[in-house]
Amino acid sequence: MRLSLIIFVCFLVSTATARSAGPIASTPPWVAVDVGHTLAEPGAFSARGRSEFEFNRDLAARLALALRTRGAKVQEINFAGAIGSLAARPEQARGSDFFISIHHDSISPEYLEFWDWDGSEASHTTVKRGFGIFVSRRNPELAASLRCATTIGAALRRGGFEPTSWHGRKHQPADAENGVWYYDNLVVLHKSTFPALLFEAGVIKHREEELELLDGDRQARMADALAIGIADCLFLTGKSARE
Ligand SMILES: [Zn+2]
């Protein structure tokens, strides 16, 4: 039996148990999925010139689907790309049990190299690739945020995805083995009153990783691993993330 199927079955069992156990888990968990950046300010550009916002939107859509398949309710944040501010994101997510902001990573300008792409010069990197998960110590639900970050990182690693160690240059490790780092001043995290994390799916400036991140099947597998990790955190103990 595939691991994801086993976990899905476990989720169904734990949900059924939780339903009879009490009111805390009697309703499906509400997960807010946030698309990082906007159409007007789309973030970094990939090695081949595609905007980060487009990568974020594609993966967020797949994650929303994977979560709904597992019985979660999904609050879509900024799927149209027109949200007015960073603070509006957690505001729109009010009432959620968990918040995840979807991003894709770049690299500082000093590490960029240049190549000819489609007849013009474009920038890329060869030194950084892999996923990263950020949590903020200013978030009032730090323990639950960390617990979810760890289960998500572990699920991704079981799914064959590798974290980057690059963030160790600027950030203190929270659980480096599973790709989890502290980033205290991220607005969407410290303005959240519920467990929250920011996910960097990979490095779009890395030419090989960019192609992997564009692959629809791989996006679906990554979304599946994220949803499994969220389910591990929110459901498998039969408790809410905040308990
Ligand atoms: Zn971003």
Distance of CA 209 to the CA centre of its chain: 17
Residues 6+ apart with CB under 8 A from 235: 11, 14, 15, 18, 25, 29
**Tally of residues, the chain:** 243
Q: For residue 52, how far is its CA from the centre of ligand 1 (angstroms)?
A: 7
Q: Where are the domains of the chain?
A: 30-234
pLDDT at 235: 72
Ligand 1 centre to CA of 102 (Å) is 8
Distance 35 CA to ligand 1 centre (A): 9
Tell how far the Cα of 38 is from the centroid of ligand 1, in angstroms.
Answer: 10
Measure 104 CA to ligand 1 centroid, in angstroms. 5
Distance 85 CA to ligand 1 centre (A): 14
The rounded Å distance from CA 238 to ligand 1 centre is 33
- What's this model's pTM, rounded to 2 decimal places? 0.89
To the question of domain 30-234 being in CATH 3.90.1150.10, the answer is: no
- Residue 198 CA to ligand 1 centre (angstroms): 9
**187 CA to middle of ligand 1, Å?**
12
Which residues pair with residue 56 across a beta bridge?
none
Q: How many CA atoms lie within 13 A of 72 on its CB side?
A: 31
Mean pLDDT per 10-residue interval, the chain, length 243 residues: 41 40 62 98 97 98 97 96 97 97 97 95 97 98 97 98 97 98 97 97 98 98 97 70 61
The Cα–Cα gap between 8 and 15 comes to 10
**pLDDT, position 26:** 58
